[in-house]
Structure 1
């Protein structure tokens, strides 16, 4: 067969395909899939349920949500290579050294702070706070009651390292104290026993976490910012690959606007991880009961079919 005729035939087929709207199939390798969102999800309870709440919002809008489970450093590397689109659990300053080099290289974009009120620090039973213990500056006065012991989590963890440094540097008069370290579950079990028995205990606390709901506890003030900037405050950022932001401004807008407070995320974690409730049901129940704040996150955002996202979600949860 004449090669020129063959080439004309192929060109004709391509033009026909384009006219019929099938050109995306021919050039799929070079075209971003705007309706698919890959969320990088480290194996932490807060990161898991928050990512699933986002998925429960986007799926009814016609978007295909995929969860990529990996450690935080792998998630950040994957974002930099556009193998993952978004991550909702970038803690700063704790993990900044892992993702900021990619931000400076313009491979990752910081879309904003998705969680407010994230803190960590020394924690006590609430009855002790009501009796007057509210600040780390007072800890030395309670050495006998606490048996000069801080209960903390695994060696090598951020909290463990902070306590070790505090003892080494005699911060807040803790120089003669010692640390009893164990797993997070074991530490919180010990804290729960003490709280239930109305006994003093000093342990490592943080929020968001189910402990803030399940335990009658309080995190002490940290005037020296031993636990982080501004008295133990942390930023939890939404990161996205630069390619995702460039090719999907509509979804990037949603992720820029998505923000939840620490108390709400603690409730999610409490229901999903502590009470062992189905994650999808936890997400759907919360969204159905909070359509107004969710509508704020979706302001100006379109569903996959081009309709206003807030109206589409409202119709889905309240048909």
Structure 2
């Protein structure tokens, strides 16, 4: 009887050592920025990981420097970021301790835009119509990458228009007011944004190439994350959220839903897709 019991215990121990890797990787710590493009990516990926058997803890950061420091130190394991440009300096500074896990979206673009009824299409046409724009480009918060690029464009195109610093809320209010009155206005804006959808605006062409090209979003992690968490890595890599869907989620938020409600509605509408993402073969 003792021999049989020992044999059964041995089999049980062998079985436990052969459990799939993801059964032993219980918790994923995820960082995010509370921005309208990154919040949907984070929420959707969190749901996919949870449905695949993980506990996911999310920490919000207020700026890239803090987020990248936390990732480098191991306070969080993964973070969604635009490493090509928006957070390039932070990625470049820390990349020896980090790794790119997978792309999760593409198409982030920032520039100067006008309503589609405005009859110019390029930055180099602004000066000839400066009076129609009230001699200004309505900007957002000072210190942002978008404002830096726009300030450079004012200099390089030798624009007669003044770049007005302010806030995203003030810019949005000015854009709404101008569109309601069918007036000309130039604003600093980005895609994905519900504003692009609601107010039917167009980016001005940039023949001098002052603004960067469309950028990608990546899940990044501490160096070694993928090797240590192969199943989680494959689940994360399966997730891809088109930019248009991020815009739609944020439009729903602007219309009164909470971000959690808007993300949940997207998830419900894409249940079959999420099942395919979740059912990644174990290692």
Q: Please give the range of the TM-score, normalised by the shorter of the 2 chains.
A: 0.7 to 0.9
Q: Is the 8 A contact 1:126 1:218 kept in 2?
A: yes
1:45-56 matched pairs, under 5 angstroms: 45-56=36-47
The one of 59, 66, 70 equivalent to 1:78 is: 70
Partner of 1:139: 126
Partner of 1:127: 117
Q: Does 1:252 align with 2:233?
A: yes
Partner of 2:60: 69
Q: Is the 8 A contact 1:259 1:297 kept in 2?
A: no
Partner of 1:271: 252
Q: Which consecutive residues of structure 1, in runs of 5 or more, have no partner in the other structure? A: 1-14, 24-31, 308-319
Separation in 2, partners of 1:240, 1:173: 42
Q: Which consecutive residues of structure 2, in runs of 5 or more, have no partner in the other structure? A: 1-8, 18-22
Q: Is the 8 A contact 1:34 1:247 kept in 2?
A: no
Provide Cα deviations, 1:88-147, integer angstroms capped at 9, x if missing partner: 1334212111122322x2x2111233222211111101111xx4x222232222212112
Which is greater in Rg? 1
SS at 2:134 equivalent: coil
Provide Cα deviations, 1:166-225, integer angstroms capped at 9, x if missing partner: 23x3x2341x32122211011111011101110000000101112122222112222222
The one of 129, 134, 138 equivalent to 1:151 is: 138
Separation in 2, partners of 1:179, 1:160: 8
When the two chains are superposed, the root-mean-square deviation of aligned CA atoms in Å is 2.7
The alpha-carbon deviation at position 237 of structure 1 amounts to: 2.1
Query: Aligned in 2, Cα 1:249/1:190: closer, same or farther, shift over 3 Å?
Result: same
Separation in 2, partners of 1:101, 1:256: 24
Q: Is the 8 A contact 2:101 2:226 kept in 1?
A: no
Q: Name whichever of 191-200 and 141-150 sits farther off.
A: 141-150
Partner of 1:35: 26
Q: Name whichever of 54-63 and 152-161 sits farther off.
A: 54-63
Separation in 2, partners of 1:93, 1:163: 15
SS at 1:235 equivalent: strand
Q: Is the 8 A contact 1:59 1:65 kept in 2?
A: yes
Partner of 2:205: 221
Q: Is the 8 A contact 2:152 2:210 kept in 1?
A: no
User: How many residue pairs are counted as aligned between the two chains?
Assistant: 269
The one of 58, 77, 83 equivalent to 2:49 is: 58
Moved over 6 A (4+): 20-23
The alpha-carbon deviation at position 153 of structure 1 amounts to: 0.8
SS at 1:286 equivalent: helix
Separation in 2, partners of 1:181, 1:33: 51
TM (norm. structure 1) is: 0.76
Partner of 2:176: 192
The one of 146, 150, 155 equivalent to 1:163 is: 150
